[in-house]
Amino acid sequence: MDDLRQRARTRTLAIVVVAVLVAIAVAGITIAVFRGQSQAGDAFLPATSSPSASAPRPKRNAGDLNHIVFSSGSDQLSPEAVDQLRELAESTKNATAEVVLSGKIEAASDRAARMDLTKKRINVVRRALQSQGISPGRLRVEIAEYPVGRVPPREADSVEINVR
């Protein structure tokens, strides 16, 4: 009889431990979702096929020197992005290092549309750098695909530039 009680206690303890772990996982997921929404800020603008004159321009933060940020759903460079690309091209014009243009997309149901927009954005940046004197042979393109929920909206709306 003691063996039966011991098994029941062990089973009950295991159930309690699993319930606690599930509760912790749910809390972690909830916190991650809320953090993702608060960091996205103004990136939740409706997607449009052409940029609107009244749409707010993306703002460049001090830490975004190597990110060209686009308005949501747009492949048009803002005047700030043009200036940013001009500065970057000027600082790397005489270097021989490779310039890597990177985009990120999520593997969602609209994957093809996201890939198309990312390619258009990278091509716009590539053409702008070439017009500023960067050799096409120095430019390399990378597009990374991530699971849904892994790419913050601000990163999905930008092209990252790295000189390697």
pTM, to two decimals: 0.61
Adjacency order of strands within the sheet including 158-163: 67-69, 158-163, 99-106, 139-146
> For residue 9, with 0-12 CB atoms within 10 Å meaning exposed, 13-18 middle and 19 or more buried, which class applies?
exposed
- Residue 45 confidence (pLDDT): 31
Q: What is the pLDDT of residues 11-39, one digit of tens each?
A: 888 898 888 888 787 777 777 665 654 33
Confidence of residue 41 (pLDDT cuts 50, 70, 90): very low
Confidence of residue 59 (pLDDT cuts 50, 70, 90): low
Q: For residues 118 and 102, what is the distance between their CA atoms, to the nearest angstrom?
A: 9
Q: Is the pLDDT confidence value at 144 over 60? A: yes
